[in-house]
Structure 1
Amino acid sequence: MPTESLIIGGGVLIAVVIVILLFKAVWRVAEPNEALIISGLGARGKSEADSLGFKIVTGKGTAVLPGFQTARRLRLDSRAANLQVSCVTLQGIPVVVRGVVIYKVGDDLHSIANAARRFLDQQDSMNGAIHELFTGHLRSIIGNLTVEDLILNRERLTGETRASAADEMIKLGLIVDSLQIQEIDDETGYITNLGKPHAAKIAATARIAEAQRDQEATEAEQIAAANKAAAWRDSQIKQASYQAEIDEAQARSRQAGPLSEASARQEVVVQETRAAELEAKLAEQRLQSQVRKPADAKAYETVTLSQAERDQHRPGRGRGA
């Protein structure tokens, strides 16, 4: 019994492994940026595109019978084709146009079917086909435009080119994400000469603007210098005024001591003078009362006595008596 169980278990395990291997061999999954193109026995779908004889699978998986069916992958991501076209304008001027086309396989089943039928086994040739397609249309459109049109209105050129190539792009199953005209060159120098008058005008305008800026800068510098000089002058005047006030205050301060001493001495002199005057008056009064008045009295007395004596000795005055 244990031996039979091991045999049964081993057989089941082998069967599971075989199923897994068979599933991996049969099952194919389409990546987000690709479509599975399945051809062979029974490879039919329900859509109009699938009725062409192959099956298209996008965004999911499907079973592919080995030996009876083949699954191939078609890239759906963006591609870039560089353009370099030599052509002649309406004026007969040869130009070289450089640009780039960003394109991809359309997302609908009809576009995928058209691209698969043309490019499935040679997807690297898409860029060459796009280059030839847009080269022809650019030559045709540029032949009806002037150089001025090419330079001033590139959107018109790209728009007309995309519209002209639209039908053929649909037949190829491709769509244009972007068409950009990057450069337009000419060997005759027409474009260079065409821009010279405008360049000269711009240069003249630039020189005038620069001269005006220089003049404005010079005037501003002169005004700034004048303001600086005026500010310096005002500062010097204020400093001189402040210095004069300081000098005056310092002079007053220096003179304050001597003036105080002189005032004090003057007051002393005044007081001493007053004291001397009072002493002189007092001495005068003393002299008057002690010397002059007695002297005057004595002199008066002497004079009176002398007069009396003289009167006595006068002749007439004696005879009469």
Structure 2
Amino acid sequence: MQFSVAYLFLIGGGILALFVTLISFASRYKRCPSDKILVVYGKISGGGVGGLHAKCYHGGASFVWPVIQDYQYLDLTPIPIDINLRGALSQQNIRVNTPSTFTIGISTEPGIMENAAERLLGLDMKTIQEVAKDIIFGQMRVVIATMPIEAINADRDRLIDNISKGVEVELKKVGLRLINVNVQDITDESGYIEALGKEAAARAINEAKIKVAQQERDGEIGKATANKEQRIQVASAHAAAVQGENLAAITIAQSNANRREKEAESERLGTAAEKVKAADALRESYVAEESAERQRAKREEATQVANVIVPTEIEKKRIEILAEAQAEQTRRTKKGEADGIRSVMEGEAEGLMAILTRKATGLREVVRASGGSPELAALLMITEQLPQLVAEQVKAISNLKIDSVTVWEGGKRADGKTSTSDFVSGLVGVLPPLHELTRNAGLRLPDYLGKLMSDPQRLAELGDQLKHEAAKRNRAAEEIRKWLNRNHDLLTSFDKNKDAKIDFGELEECVRVVLEWAGRSGDAGSLWFYSTKDSGTQGPLSWDPLAAALAKSPRTFINLEGSDSWLPFEVVAQAVRLLAQ
């Protein structure tokens, strides 16, 4: 039982100690009102040499440890200070009296509060006023010494601003701040400021008098201006009245004119409407008459068709049928004749074949008889034909009319020949050479009958000339072929199979004809015709007049006498130019 009581006392003591401890701690938790600064000093964090010596709180709260820390409050109530500064020297060394009232207070800026805690903590209000007064007196003297007296008197804002800047810097060093500055009056012992005031007063009075005179002048001017404007307004009103009357008269006249115009327009429209109606009636009558005439014309046309056109069509059909029958008869007759001619030609061909076969057999026997020697066989054949060859040579002079030949012989010359022998040999020399004649006949005489002399250079020149002519003709043919390929529609006369197109064979035939006609353009005996829609077929003409006549119409068709083909003049003229190059 005793143990239980002791245990209860122990518990009660612990609770009491805990309660006392809590009360103690609660009492050390200090709150700072808004018009004060809580300064906690003693053992604080960050303290020591160069560190914080106190912590300042404006508002809020802080726990103050017992024994090692303590606290005080700095009052933020504004402190008014009267500064009766007298005899301060200005920039011109004129002594100035500037009684003023300054309102200061402890600053709440961080850093400045710490200055106040260090220098003002524990001081009463009067002591703080004295500290601030000394600072303000010194700074005011400094500021006044830097300003001329005119600026001090005239520019109060500048003076107060300079004083505020100088004083506040010094006040912050002790933790104070300047709240307000009020300069009550500015005087000087020499009366300079009073004189400046009198000057300003006189200037103001003069300016006032000037303004009064100006106002009186402006009043008179305004009065005269008002009278002028009154007269102008009255005259303007009279003029406006007259103008209004005139405008009214003009409006009345215009209204009358518009009325008369409308009446005339209405009358014109009525007359026009009557004429339009009359014209419509007349047009309708004309339309009816036209319709009647058209119907009558149709009836007449039907009559003519029945009486004239129908019989004509019947006659046309009859003629066409008869023409087709006659054409069919002609075709059959010509076909029979062609079959007969073909049979005759086939018989002749078979006979000619038999003759040539027998002749070949005979020639083969001649060659065999000559021992297989071609030259001997040719000699035998020439010997057989020699009388005929001689006869052909004699024909060269057979038609010469020589009644007599008189020879004046002068004997032999130095070369052993006589004039008569020269004449006979010359006469024989003009006969066609036997070698040339046999060569043209496809034969070659033996060497013992003599050889023809030939000029190799001349033969080469002739060969080159022939090659050049052949190349020129080929180029011309190619150009003509290109032109014809572009103008198939102009070659209808060469469409032999009547298939409405020009095939390769027909095109080549056309090229051949063009080149042939171009070659005959220089022949004086060649006659040409041309055909036009207006004048029909014209000619015959030689080439030059034909070219002159068709120079401006090259697509005109031309024809060479003896040919059944027609070609455009343009392509033949082009071939002539190509061959002449």
After superposition, the Cα gap between the structure-2 partners of 1:223 and 1:24, relative to the gap in structure 1 and judged at 3 Å, is: same
After superposition, the Cα gap between the structure-2 partners of 1:196 and 1:26, relative to the gap in structure 1 and judged at 3 Å, is: same
Q: Determine the C-alpha separation between the residues in 2 that align with 1:49 and 1:110.
A: 17
| 1:51 match: secondary structure | coil
The residue that corresponds to 2:192 in the other structure is: 190
8 Å contact kept, 1:98–1:182: yes
The residue that corresponds to 1:72 in the other structure is: 72
1:172 to 2:190 alignment: no
| 2:82 match: secondary structure | strand
1:56 to 2:56 alignment: yes
Q: Determine the C-alpha separation between the residues in 1 that align with 2:199 and 2:23.
A: 76
- Higher RCO (CA-CA < 8 Å; seq separation 6+): 1
8 Å contact kept, 1:45–1:54: no
Alignment RMSD: 4.2
Q: Determine the C-alpha separation between the residues in 2 that align with 1:33 and 1:80.
A: 16
After superposition, the Cα gap between the structure-2 partners of 1:49 and 1:128, relative to the gap in structure 1 and judged at 3 Å, is: farther
8 Å contact kept, 1:27–1:62: yes
* Residue 167 of structure 1, CA deviation: 4.6
Q: Across the two proteins, how many residue pairs are aligned to each other?
A: 226
Q: Determine the C-alpha separation between the residues in 1 that align with 2:57 and 2:143.
A: 39
After superposition, the Cα gap between the structure-2 partners of 1:221 and 1:29, relative to the gap in structure 1 and judged at 3 Å, is: same
After superposition, the Cα gap between the structure-2 partners of 1:167 and 1:49, relative to the gap in structure 1 and judged at 3 Å, is: farther
Q: Determine the C-alpha separation between the residues in 1 that align with 2:129 and 2:30.
A: 28
| 1:73 match: secondary structure | strand
The residue that corresponds to 1:96 in the other structure is: 97
Give CA deviations for 1:159-207 in whole Å, capped at 9, x if unaligned.
Answer: 4334444553332123334444342122432212112222112112223
Q: Determine the C-alpha separation between the residues in 2 that align with 1:199 and 1:118.
A: 50
Q: Give the TM-score, by structure 1 length.
A: 0.55
Q: Determine the C-alpha separation between the residues in 2 that align with 1:88 and 1:148.
A: 13
After superposition, the Cα gap between the structure-2 partners of 1:13 and 1:27, relative to the gap in structure 1 and judged at 3 Å, is: same
| 2:41 match: secondary structure | strand
From the CA coordinates, give the structure whose radius of gyration is larger. 2
After superposition, the Cα gap between the structure-2 partners of 1:218 and 1:156, relative to the gap in structure 1 and judged at 3 Å, is: closer
Q: 2:150 aligns with which of 129, 148, 151?
A: 148
After superposition, the Cα gap between the structure-2 partners of 1:186 and 1:155, relative to the gap in structure 1 and judged at 3 Å, is: same
Give CA deviations for 1:270-290 in whole Å, capped at 9, x if unaligned.
Answer: xxxxxxxxxxxxxxxxxxxxx
* Residue 15 of structure 1, CA deviation: 7.1
Q: Determine the C-alpha separation between the residues in 1 that align with 2:221 and 2:164.
A: 57
In the TM superposition, what are the counterparts of 1:1-321 in structure 2 within 5 Å? 18=20, 21-40=23-42, 43-46=43-46, 51-76=51-76, 78-86=78-86, 87-124=88-125, 125-165=127-167, 167-210=169-212, 213=215
Q: What is the identity, as a one-letter code, of the residue corresponding to 2:70?
A: T
Give CA deviations for 1:34-59 in whole Å, capped at 9, x if unaligned.
Answer: 2211223xx31348999343333332
State percent identity of aligned pairs.
23
Richer in strand (by share): 1
* Residue 20 of structure 1, CA deviation: 6.1
Q: Determine the C-alpha separation between the residues in 1 that align with 2:48 and 2:151.
A: 44
* Residue 216 of structure 1, CA deviation: 6.8
Q: Give the TM-score, by structure 2 length.
A: 0.32
Q: Determine the C-alpha separation between the residues in 1 that align with 2:203 and 2:163.
A: 34
Could you tell me which runs of 5 or more consecutive residues in structure 1 were left unpaired when the two chains were aligned.
225-321
Q: What is the identity, as a one-letter code, of the residue corresponding to 2:191?
A: G
Q: Determine the C-alpha separation between the residues in 1 that align with 2:48 and 2:223.
A: 82
Could you tell me which runs of 5 or more consecutive residues in structure 2 were left unpaired when the two chains were aligned.
227-581
After superposition, the Cα gap between the structure-2 partners of 1:19 and 1:218, relative to the gap in structure 1 and judged at 3 Å, is: farther
8 Å contact kept, 1:49–1:113: no
Q: What is the identity, as a one-letter code, of the residue corresponding to 1:203?
A: I
* Residue 221 of structure 1, CA deviation: 9.8
| 1:183 match: secondary structure | coil
The residue that corresponds to 1:230 in the other structure is: none
Give CA deviations for 1:132-176 in whole Å, capped at 9, x if unaligned.
Answer: 112112112322332102012334333433444455333212333
